[in-house]
Amino acid sequence: MAVASSSPEAEAQTLPHIAIFPFLAKGHTIPLIHLAHYLHRYGLATVTFFITAGNAGFVREGLSGVAAAVVEMTFPTDVPGIPPGVESAEGLTSLASFAVFADATSLLLPQLDASLAEMQPPASLLVTDPFLHWTKAPAARLGIPKVSFFGISAFAQVMREVRVRHDPCATLRPDDVDADGHPATFTVPEFPHIKLTFEDFMAPFGDPASIAPMMELDGKLGKAIEESQGLIINTFHALEAPYLEFWNQHVGPRSWPIGPLCLAQPTATRPKAQRPSWMEWLDDKAAAGRTVLYIALGTLAAIPESQLKEVANGLERAEVDFIWAVRPENIDLGLGFEERTKDRGLVVREWVDQLEILNHISVQGFLSHCGWNSVLESVTAGVPLAVWPMHADQPFNSRFLVDELKIAVRVHTSDRTIRGLVTSEEISEVVRALMLGEEGVEAGKRVVELSASAREAMVEGGQSWKSLKEMISELSMMKLNGNEEVSLEEQVDA
């Protein structure tokens, strides 16, 4: 990018000013922090980040090096159904409480309303998570275009639309099986090669106790996207072209693929003395010519200790080198497991830089819950996956990676349901297939090709760069009919 001759102050006044408000969960916040880095790196916009005080430290650390303003809001206290002091979804205990938490964010509306009105220069565009479904009203009152940033794949977004259009669960039943005893499937009319099960469609709503509140929240989420001036998707055209095109031609609002945003994350440049112990361990494995499996199973799903012991037993049986980021920190993985596997395994019970680990030359496989952020990080690093979906969009992602992209092998539960037990035998078999089998070799070849395409998309002049620049140009010039006299109570109800 050419160096501008104007001063930073003058440049800031001429650039579009983008307000960003993520849902209060790290997995939703991180890609928007990466978006701020991307906008800053290429001089596409100035940024103001809205967040609550309890999450502000995490955001400020992530925005290091970005000339972004951070506006702190006060999260309401004593909200029924939310543990005291919890300001992030990671502190919740169930999907039912997740729905309560998402709706409770609407209590931030007066603060957002006032802060948007005070922004100088005024906001050109509001980028917000559709879980914050109530943010349309304050943006509309000020005439600010609002774009939804939903951190799932285009594939999952289209399959969500399929569920709404066709109601496949009206004909599928949880216990229906085919001639081979496998769960019965629904053939997607718009994409006949895709066959999905009852579990795939119902996983976003969790256990039976949470289905009603989660379906209600899902309806609000869908309306928030529908009423936006656009939909940002953290993906790239070469990865999901058919689903991006279907969305734009048959659903809407227009989607803008601007990822994978993890490539905008600044590269870690720690002095050797500050290099984490797990990276030094990986260096030793690389020096010994050993390949390593990385295991991380997400931050939101509470995995029972008994299940994690099955994972430990499976890793021990598989006899492959591994590094395992374990949560929660105090979980018991079985008597003597870490001692018995210390020559080829490392259990890490603290936060790790996942992208840094995946990009290490020794890491050649990733056992993942198949959250979209993790998928993109693995794709950009050129690392094939073993996918173990647990909830939300993860079953859709796993179908896409295994059946269509063919860059992953699937982990199956013993009863083929999302909530069923994964045995140590299954873990061992899948891990060996990924790390030692032909299936893993072929998946590795394909994901390396996708990695190259991802990097091409994100450089200046690439498809994702062009998409982001075009979106900003089109939407920041748009001025909605604002200044409507709408009470805050009416805004929340909307």
pLDDT classification of 81: cutoffs 50, 70, 90? confident
Strands (E), 392-472: 408-410
pLDDT > 80? residue 180? no
> What local confidence, expressed as pLDDT, does residue 6 receive?
37
What ranges do the domains of the chain cover? 17-166+214-264+462-490, 272-456
More confidently predicted of 385 and 202: 385
**pLDDT tens for residues 210-250?**
788 888 888 999 999 999 999 999 999 999 999 999 999 99
Q: How far apart (Å, rounded) are the C-alpha atoms in residues 181 and 326?
A: 34
Q: Do 17-166+214-264+462-490 and 272-456 have matching folds?
A: yes
**pLDDT tens for residues 106-164?**
999 999 999 999 999 999 999 999 999 999 999 999 999 999 999 999 999 999 999 99
What value does the mean pLDDT take over residues 292-304? 84
What value does the mean pLDDT take over residues 69-89? 92
Q: How far apart (Å, rounded) are the C-alpha atoms in residues 319 and 344?
A: 8
* Residue found by looking up tokens 């860059």 in the block: 407
**pLDDT tens for residues 300-341?**
667 888 999 999 999 999 999 999 999 777 788 989 999 999
More confidently predicted of 95 and 429: 429
Give ∠ CA 438-443-447 in degrees, rounded to 5.
150
Beta strands 385-387 and 230-233, pairing class = unpaired
**pLDDT tens for residues 243-286?**
999 999 999 999 999 999 999 987 766 777 778 999 999 999 99
Q: How far apart (Å, rounded) are the C-alpha atoms in residues 317 and 311?
A: 10
> What local confidence, expressed as pLDDT, does residue 415 receive?
84
> What local confidence, expressed as pLDDT, does residue 199 receive?
85
DSSP collapsed to 3 states, 201-229: HHHHHCCHHHHHHHHHHHHHHHHHHHCCC
Residue 67 contacts residue 97 (beta carbons within 8 Å): no
What value does the mean pLDDT take over residues 396-411? 97
Distances (CA, A) of 198 to 46, 164, 428: 44, 14, 27
pLDDT > 60? residue 487? no
- Start-to-end CA distance of the chain, whole Å, equals 42
**pTM: predicted TM-score of the whole model, two decimal places:** 0.91
Q: How far apart (Å, rounded) are the C-alpha atoms in residues 160 and 317?
A: 38
More confidently predicted of 419 and 124: 124
pLDDT > 70? residue 57? yes
* Residue found by looking up tokens 């990986």 in the block: 282
**pLDDT tens for residues 445-467?**
999 999 999 999 999 999 999 99
Give the mean pLDDT of the chain.
Answer: 89
What value does the mean pLDDT take over residues 92-97? 76
Neighbours of 454 (CB within 10 A): 25
pLDDT classification of 8: cutoffs 50, 70, 90? very low
Quick one: fold of 17-166+214-264+462-490?
Rossmann fold (3.40.50)
3.30.450.20, 3.40.50.300, 3.60.20.10, 3.40.50.2000: CATH of 272-456: 3.40.50.2000
> What local confidence, expressed as pLDDT, does residue 206 receive?
67
Q: How far apart (Å, rounded) are the C-alpha atoms in residues 190 and 423?
A: 36
Percent of the residues in the chain that have a pLDDT greater than 70, as a whole number: 92
> What local confidence, expressed as pLDDT, does residue 171 receive?
86
Question: Which residues are within 8 A (CB) of 339 and not within 5 positions of it... i.e. 6 or more apart?
Answer: none
